[in-house]
Amino acid sequence: MSGTGEEPEQHEAACQICGKTEKSALRRAMTVRPAISRMIEQQWGGWDENGWICLDDLHDYQHRYVQKLLEEERGEISSLDKEVLQALEEQELLSRNPDIDFEAGLSTGQRLADRIATFGGSWTFIIAFGIFILLWMGLNTWLITTRPFDPFPYILLNLVLSSLAALQAPVIMMSQNRQEARDRARAINDYQVNLKAELEIRQLHQKIDHLLSRQWERLMEIQEIQIELINEIKKER
């Protein structure tokens, strides 16, 4: 009875796709997800649920299945998805600080514009500009009474304020555009990290299923050994 049970096991312990026979690299075909099993059957032409498949081929078809899901969802695989899939295959990290790369590519004028926009939107600028206006009005109203350089209604001051507003507006707009670009870079990085995390979780499910199948195989082997021992004990009696 034990001899007849070993022969089919040895005969079937080979990958259905590449023919690999190394036991440690094989897993049961019945533990593969149904969607991946259907894909293998469609592309390979045959699939036996009672057979075996090696981990290399399984990972290859898992990768193809993920690509197929992305293609069906968006119609085509974007460059971001390709980067995520490549990082997933090469076990690379996608989580990084996009601000570091963004700041490294700024020119001197862009950095200056950001500093001006930051200073122009602070209480320091408001207080300093208020003091400047009061001093200007005080000089031309009370301190210089004979020949003030900008008498009331302060036409020169209005010109200075108009020029300042005309220059400050485009500087602030440039800074806002760069802030939007920085936010887009952060959103792209978050999307890549979340997508990779989702794919990693799927692979963890596959690994857990594999561990469970290996434990089931070991339990079956132990049970067969116990049955053989019981039969031998019965024969001795």
Q: How confident is the model at residue 68, as a pLDDT?
A: 73
Q: Which residue has the higher pLDDT, 14 or 130?
A: 130
Predicted model pTM: 0.45
Q: Which two tokens stand for residue 176?
A: 């806002």
pLDDT digits 0-9 by tens, 3-55: 444 444 445 578 888 888 787 778 888 878 787 888 888 877 778 888 888 88
Q: How confident is the model at residue 1, as a pLDDT?
A: 40
Helix (H) or strand (E) holding 85: helix 79-90
Buried/exposed 23-43: b ≥16 CB within 10 Å, e otherwise:
eeebbbbebbbeebbebbeee
Q: How confident is the model at residue 227, as a pLDDT?
A: 77
pLDDT at 225 over 70: no
| Mean pLDDT over each residue of the chain, to the nearest integer | 76
Q: How confident is the model at residue 236, as a pLDDT?
A: 61
Whether 56 and 19 have beta carbons less than 8 Å apart is answered as no
Q: How confident is the model at residue 99, as a pLDDT?
A: 64
Residue that has been written with the tokens 């004028």 in this structure? 109
Q: Which two tokens stand for residue 126?
A: 């408001």
Q: DSSP of 158-198, one letter per residue?
A: HHHHHHHHHHHHHHHHHHHHHHHHHHHHHHHHHHHHHHHHH
pLDDT digits 0-9 by tens, 168-194: 888 888 888 888 888 888 888 888 788
pLDDT digits 0-9 by tens, 69-128: 666 655 545 666 666 666 666 655 555 666 666 677 778 887 888 888 888 888 998 999
32 three-state secondary structure: coil
